[in-house]
Structure 1
Amino acid sequence: MKNRTDLGANEDGHLSPYWTRNQDGTLGLSAFPFSVNDDWFASTAKAGHALMGVPTIGSGETSGILMVTIAHPVFSAGNLIGVAGIDVSLESLSEQVAKARPFGSGRVMLISQDMRWLVGAHEADLMQPYDGAQKERIEAATVSDLPFEVGQVGEGDIQFTRIAYPFDLPGLGAKWTLVLDVPSSAIGVPVRDQTLLMLAAGFCVMLTVIAGLYVAIRVFVRHPISNLVTAVGSLSDGDYESEVSGQNRGDEIGSVAKALEGFRNGLARGKEIEVRAELERTAADEERAQRDNEHQRAEAVQREVVRSLGEGLRHLAAGDLTYRIRQTFEASYDQLRVDFNSAVDGLIDLVSKVSTAVVTISAGSKNISSAANNLSKRTEQQAANLEETAAALNQLTVQINAGADHAKQAAATVGNASSDAERSAQVVLRAIEAMQDIEQSSKEVGRIIGVIDEIAFQTNLLALNAGVEAARAGEAGKGFAVVAQEVRELAQRSAAAAKEIKLLVQNSSSQVATGAALVASAGDALRGIALQVAQINDVIRQISASASEQATGLREINNAVGQLDEFTQRNAAMVEETTAASAGLHREAQSLSSLVEQFKTRGTDEGNFPRLVTHR
């Protein structure tokens, strides 16, 4: 059945037919290699129901076509016997989704279960990984999640609001995500509601398409495959006489039925071959009985050969390497005698070499033990030095951490001082404004007092004229003259008082101007102080950041030194193990030397080998 593509068998002999419909409407049959550990086969067999695979770009007969595999397990008598699948082209779905342009310039896109673009903003995005915003949220979203906003994306002068809507493909164990790019210029509360409505409608349309696809698979794939499963079950029960139904179909199922019919005919022929093989087996048994008789005649010769070899092996087991088989065997067995004697000669040479090597190993193990002892001492000294260094680094780390904390406190204090200086500068500005208002009011008061001074001057002139007229009137104007004199004195006092008030206002205005200048100077000084405090704050922050970096660096150095100390301790332990191993090797060399001395090689009781001398 291997490489029988006409029957749907691949190069491994597995039944894996693959039908494709050509552009002229004809069907093409081929076989593809597969393994039960392939993801599409193993996952479907384990799940026990239909699964949709990850969308891919086809190759071979389907080269360049975006498609997805829907696999369904095939059972017979409750046992899994295979997996049937169909490759569905996604070209039409991709074209329909890509043509959708909501709100004129909007875009509708689609993401597969492995977070790759099935329909992207551009053709170059096809099957490229999604690397946009909220990737983790889209990947972890469930169908119970409502459509959610991913974020803002832009292309050229157009800004989009991206919305994602995850949905499950019913009965296929896969989750896809519908992505909608809505132009930002069209976004509003009514528009957003309309967008979600369109998204839900698109989701319903896609569910309808997928449900139709699912029904079509059940009607056109599952039922015919069930008939094929029944035929396969009959074949597995040994019924090679019943023909496979469905051979008259013109689709892929009919091709599978024809392939199964060929398979049934092959099994029937195999049954006939089995009968012939049984006859041949009977003839072989008779021939084997004849060979047994000949074998019995040869056993006597073999027993003599085995006895001689056994005797030689007993001497060999006792360490006697001087024994040789002198008796000549038959021609077919004499090579064993020659090989045995040659093996003993080779064993003598090997034992001699082993003895020499034992002496060399013993001397080397002593040197290794001495060097390991020296290395152990140096490693212990190095471990002690590293421990002291680690302790010093710990203290330095604590001090630098304390310095960093103090620098942070100083930075906080300087920041508070800077804030107070800024608030004081604001108060000074308000004080300057108040001084300017007071100065303006003083000017107004001075103008009013000038008016009062003029009124007093005019009143004095009128009183003087009234006194002159009263003097001309004689006795009749005497009372009027007294009144005029009082009015004149009142006007003079008013003028004197106005002059004093004017003088006081002028002094007050001068002092207010001086105070305003002083307050302005104080404001400038406070602004300078605030600026210097800000600069000091920046410097202290830099110092604090540098101290924190130094503390981090020292912690890393401290960790590295700690690891180095740990490694040194491990090295010390390994050196001790090496020392013990070298001592054990020396003891084993002595034991091996004792064993080698037990061999007899030159007709004496003791072996003629170099002796291993133990120095204590």
Structure 2
Amino acid sequence: MAFLNNLTIKTRLFLNLAMIFLALATLVLLGWQTANTSAREAERLIQTDLQLGEPLRFFNQNFIETLQLSNAYTLTGDANTGQNFNLKVDEQIAALAGLLNELGAELDYDEGGSLLILDIHNEENLDFINTLYGLDRILRNLKNATNSSVFMEQRILQTLDFGIQASSLSLRNALDELNRYNQTAANAELASILASLRERLVLSQRLTAEMIAAKNPEIKSQFDEIGLGFAARPLVQSVQDALRGDFFNRQLASQLDEAWGNYFDAFGDIRDTLITQVQNNHSLAELSGQGNDILVTTSALLQAANTTSLQQQAQEADTMANQLVIISSLAALVLLLVNLLISRSIVSPIDQLKKQLLNLNETSNFSTMSSLTGRNELVEMQQAMMTLLTQVTDAFNQITQVSQNLAQGQTSQRMSGDYRGDLAKLATEMNASLANIEQTLNQVETAAQALAGGDYKLSIDSQNQQGRFLIVTQAIKDAMNIQNQAIEDIRHVTHAMREGDFSQRVTLKMPGDLANLKRYLNESLDRLAEALDAKSAALEAFSQGDFSHQSEAVFNGKLHELNQHMMRMAQSISQMLTEVRDASDHAAHGIHEISSGNQDLNDRVQKQAAALQQTTQSMLDMVVDVNQTMADAQDVSQSTEQMFQASTTGSATVSEMVNAMTAIQEASHDISALTDAIDSVAFQTNLLALNASVEAARAGEAGRGFAVVASEVRNLAQRTAEVSKQIRQASNMNIERIGKGMTLSHQTQQIFADTLARVQKINTKIGKMNTALNRQNEGIQEVNDALSAIDHTTQQNAALVEQIASTSANIIHEVTRLEQKVSQFRLIEPSKRHALPASNKANLVQLPAA
């Protein structure tokens, strides 16, 4: 403690602050070291995730897209989708190879193009490499299985088009021909067999659609039982036996047998392809599941590695946190002890000084103060305080003496002594206050003497006064100024009245009796100015034609008499102008009635003239129309003659067209028979090409060239079948159209015959119509001449009416101008003209505008 008492308080606080900073720096260094270690571990985990996790997630996303493309390609069979799928698989295989290389695997390719692992340079990624390596086989098998599935789907569609549909058509045609033959032969057993085969054909088509839609090869057993399977073979053989002795029709039985065999073979091909396709689809599902399992396993391995790293990092962080807590606790304990010692060294002297000051406050005895020990700021502060207390005691004694003298009316004594700081300022302010009191008393005495002598212009200097001294001197000064200003303001108003200006008033605010004097004077001036303003306003209104103006003010004496004379003059002038207004109003009303009658007459005449002109023009238009109708009738007569000749020629042409269309119909039937033979050849060629493609696929690499040739042959057969189908459709359409054309041709012949008879009747009626039109044209011309004479007379009447209307308008204009002149005056109502109230307030009336 003795060591600390010899140190200044500032030094002690700096020492305490330095120890706190040292402890904080130690804690910050340990925290930074812990955070830096955690950051390095986190960076390592991020790098691991970027090196392995991100590529795995990207590869997983691409694998899902590959599966989606596989499904889309399998469902649609679109060539562009297939190209994108194969390209996506190749990209996945290349990405897998790159990922294995990044993990530390040395790779190569075998003869089939599959990946081989030669060596592993990073043993930490051994599990990842072994797991991901299986994806190469899965991707390659997925590519082959998908392409194979699409190929089989296309093969099913081709077999359905060129096998099932073509053989169904051949079967239906053969059964139709056999039914037509049997209608002549009337073989009941053959009819039953043909009906059974037709029913089995319908059932076979339904079973084919169900088998393809459900992808269920087991439907083949139903096909054999109720369709065109093995159970239908005896029926076909029975048909051949029934027609074996018929040399001309046994070819139909051979066609039926051939079509049945084609349908049977096509159904079997579809069933075999479906079996292979179902197995291939199972393989696709298994490959997808295996690929997903591998990716899930890889993600689990990555998650386990990250979890292990995080656990290690957490253990290291816990160890460093424990160390940081122990060091922080020790540092806090040391800082607490040091703070206690330093605080005690400062608080103990302050507490001692506090007790001395409290004792001094209670006893006011300076002898009880004792000095502190040591060399610091508290000891110096106590010594300065003792010196200050001595000076304050001396100052209080002098203030007491000065105050006693001031109470006795002596203002000449001042404080004297060698004071410093606030005590010196206190002595100066005390002396200044005494001087102000003495100066104020002197000025009050001077002002009282001036007021007693009637001098209101005395100036009192109050610039150096403050507080209550300033208020006293300023009040005396204001009282003298108010009396002086009142006298000057009244003098100014009386001077203006002498010059004829009654608008000036005493505006100065005055207290007491001066305010009453101001009010009496201003009220007298207001009444006089009001009377002059009222008379001036009345004369101004009369000069502007407003004789309804009356003053609202109440006057007495001579002013009231003057106001009565002016109001009587306004009443006389208003009565005269009212009589003029009434006379002009009656004249304008009569002239308006005359003008209105003329205007109605003028309108009726104008309407009559317009109606006559319109009627005349209508008659002229009717003459033109009748002439045009006569000309059109002549043109129609010539046209009907030409139509008769054209109809005769057209009837002969239609007969020739019917003969030509009959020949075209026979040729179209021959073309239809030829297209059936082309269909049969194209179907058999397509079956041979399909069988060749299957054999080429089974032969593998050795049959690839033969498969190309078979594919081209199949395409050629398909195009031939399509062209044949188009020819058949066109031929059938031509036959149908030719039949309709022949029907229309016969109808056209009949129409031409009817037209010839009707043209003859029309020509006769047109001649009669020309004669009637000539008589009608002469009658219309006579009516038109009579209307022209009436129109001339009507025009003369209209001109006379317009002249009368113009004269009436001029008279109305002049009367209107007179009314407008009179209406400019404002007059007094007749009922109020002789009754002036005490307030002189009149009711006003405004003349209406003309």
TM-score by length of structure 1 reads 0.23
Greater strand fraction, Structure 1 or Structure 2? 1
Greater helix fraction, Structure 1 or Structure 2? 2
Q: Which has the higher Rg, Structure 1 or Structure 2?
A: 2
Larger relative contact order, structure 1 or 2 (CA cutoff 8 Å, min sep 6): 2
